[in-house]
Amino acid sequence: MPRPPIYEMAPHTGRSARLISKLYGYRSPKEFVAELPENARVADIGAGNSNLGRVAAGLRPDIQWTNIDIQYDDFYPSLRERSKAPDNVSYVAADILHSCLQAGSLDLIVSNAALPFIIMTDEVLAMRALYSMRESLKTDGRMILGKGIVNGALFRKKDGAVHATAQEFDEDPEKVLRELTVRK
C-alpha cells in the first residue's frame, strides 16, 4: 500500500470534533448532537475532513450528514479518511456560491471557517453564500457559523460562532454578516 501524502500524516490541530463543538458553543459532540431533531439532515460547508461530521454521524445513525468542500477530489479527503466515516456521511465537491444544495432540505448548516475566508475576499460574495445556505434550510432550520480561527483566545470565548435560525436570517440577513465580521 502506498504511503499517504505528508499532509495526511500531519496532525490537524484545532479541528477535532470536540474542539469544533466547543467553538460552536457546546461542551462536547454529544451535547451538540443531542440538540439535533430526529432524522436531521445536516450540511457542513467547507468541511475538509469533517471530524465533527464523522463523530456526530457515529453518535446519531438517524441523521444524514453531508460534507461539502470545493477542494474535494479523488485524493482529498483520502480514502483512508473517508473509510473512517459512517455510512450516513457523504462527501460532495461543490461551491456554496452556486446553490449546490436542495432548497428547503436541511435542518442545520454548520460552517467553521468558510465564511470568514469568503468575507476576507468580498463581503458581497459572503452574503451570496449566506443566502445560498438559507435557501437550503427548512423553515425551522438553523445555521451555526464559525467566525474562523483567528487566534487561540477564540476557543475560550463562548461566542466563537454565530447561531441563526432561518427566521432570524430572513428578518435581518445583514445582522448575521455583521456578527461574522466582528472580531473581539
Residue extents of the structural domains in the chain: 6-181
Q: In what order do the strands lie in the sheet with 64-69?
A: 89-93, 64-69, 41-45, 106-111, 137-146, 161-165
Tell me if the domain spanning 6-181 has CATH number 2.10.109.10.
Answer: no
- pTM of the model as a whole: 0.85
Q: pLDDT value at position 16?
A: 87
More confident position, 167 or 160:
167
More confident position, 11 or 165:
165
Mean pLDDT of the chain: 84
More confident position, 156 or 72:
72
50: left (phi over 0), alpha (psi -120 to 50) or beta: left
Cell of 74: 479523488
Q: pLDDT value at position 37?
A: 97
**Residue 13 reports pLDDT greater than 90:** no
Q: pLDDT value at position 183?
A: 54
